[in-house]
Amino acid sequence: MSFDLSRRLAERRAADLYRQRPLLQSPQGPQVVVDGQPLLAFCSNDYLGLANHPQVIEAWRSGAERWGVGGGASHLVVGHSGPHHALEEALAELTGRPRALLFSTGYMANLGAVTALVGQGDSVLQDRLNHASLLDAGLLSGARFSRYLHNDPVSLASRLQKATGDALVVTDGVFSMDGDVADLPALAAVANSRGAWLMVDDAHGFGTLGATGGGIVEHFGLGLDEVPVLVGTLGKGFGTSGAFVAGSADLIDTLVQFARPYIYTTSQPPALACATLKSLELLRSESWRREHLHTLIQQFRRGALERGLHLMDSFTPIQPIVVGSSARAMKLSRLLRERGLLVTAIRPPTVPAGSARLRVTLSAAHSSAQVQQLLDGLAECQALLEPEDE
């Protein structure tokens, strides 16, 4: 007996679900070169345009000259350097929490937090549309796993009645495929009323939401009591790489002791932490980036609705256009690319069957003219679909 990998791959191709990696041959930015083709990109999560910022690059270069290019060991051995510590303190200040803890990736931060907090005999309750890393963390924790209806505090309350042991409620802050935001005040009220903790993964909110870019918790004016566990990633609004968990001193101490993805991995390069410190400084001081970004979001939504495009309910940089079948989404993406526009088609299992979409993402680095170019291209490509594609 052997694994029939060829059959599995053929089935995925036949269903228009086969994935391929585009080869980026330029730095991140609105204008990129992918597979040798110059394109205007609307699919990056570099929401504030910091991934290729000259000051961030210089901070990384200077950090490497002083600290080298590798972490060298885990944080608990001899890999926790000065830049790591300074970044954790800055992230704690940004989030208004006593402490923060760096992780190498957002996936590891979510896995580490959930599995350190709940286990057998406990309960973890998650939004049905949570990111895969959150769902995997819940399943791997060994806790009783339950999924409530999307953004539905009534459904959450009903499921919490059946919870056992310590109960952890987990939600995305901004849902990465729909672009809508969690109703945190309502979810926090339900969790608190039943003695549960609320954990929020605000990967797509930091930098884009809140008066100072502090994310969805700042947007709603909530604090540590309402959201005890706050997760953020550094590869989106911050423009670099890595992730963190912010919370009470006891929470961070608990993660240091029990979060296996933190304990058993080499720390990120110290120079990367230097770069992130600079991007954090720019994120907070250059409010024009958020202002320009939200102007572009309004321009895009207004223009898309005028052209009859089916947008989802989102005021964030994530603006999905639902088109239905995977084949139709792939065709629209291909037509746009032929016109020099790069917009990724998102298909099952990332999104539910029948809801394949073009996931448009906007950045402060885009211009109004570039957004207009996208709108014109979308209208032209929509008109080229065959009747059977509708």
Could you read off the pLDDT of 197-211 as tens digits, one per residue?
A: 999 999 999 999 999
> Rounded to two decimals, what is the model's pTM?
0.95
Q: How far apart are CA 69 and CA 51, in angstroms?
A: 18
The CA-CA-CA angle for residues 296, 298, 301, to 5°, reads: 105
The domain tally of the chain equals 2
Considering 53, 84, 131, 204, which one is annotated as catalytic? 204
Residue 296 contacts residue 371 (beta carbons within 8 Å): yes
Q: Are residues 105 and 27 in the same domain?
A: no
36 with 158, same domain: the answer is no
325 and 363 share one domain: yes
Q: What are phi and psi of 377, to 5 degrees?
A: -65, -40
CA-closest candidate to residue 351, choices 14, 17, 92: 17
The interaxial angle of helices 106-117 and 249-258, nearest 10 deg, is 100
Q: Which of 53, 75, 84, 236 is catalytic?
A: 236
Active site residue 236: yes
The per-residue pLDDT for 382 is 85
Domain that holds residue 362: 23-52+287-389
CA–CA separation, 380 vs 385, rounded Å? 9
Q: Quick check: 389 pLDDT over 50?
A: no
Percentage of the residues of the chain whose pLDDT score is greater than 90: 90
124 membership: H or E segment, kind and range: strand 123-127
pLDDT at 377 over 80: yes
Last residue within a domain, chosen from 245, 270, 285: 285
2 has catalytic annotation: no
pLDDT grade for 290, boundaries at 50, 70 and 90: very high
Confidence band (pLDDT; 50, 70, 90) for 166? Answer: very high
Domain annotation covers residue 1: no
Q: What is the mean pLDDT of residues 16-30?
A: 93
Residue 147 pLDDT greater than 60, yes or no: yes
Query: Which of 155, 176, 326, 355 is labelled catalytic?
Result: 176
For residue 390, pLDDT over 70 is answered with no
In whole angstroms, give the CA distance from residue 266 to residue 75: 7
Clarify whether residues 46 and 106 are in a common domain: no
Where among 253, 285, 317 does a domain terminate?
285
Tens-digit pLDDT profile for residues 307-319: 988 899 999 999 9
Asked whether residue 10 is assigned to any structural domain, the reply reads no
Residues 133 and 224 both lie in one domain: yes
Q: Determine the Cα–Cα distance for residues 347 and 357; give it in Å rounded to an integer.
A: 7
Task: Verify whether residue 310 is a known catalytic residue.
Answer: no
Same domain for 119 and 256, yes or no, is: yes
The answer on 327 and 251 residing in a single domain is: no
The enclosing domain of 361 has a CATH number of 3.90.1150.10
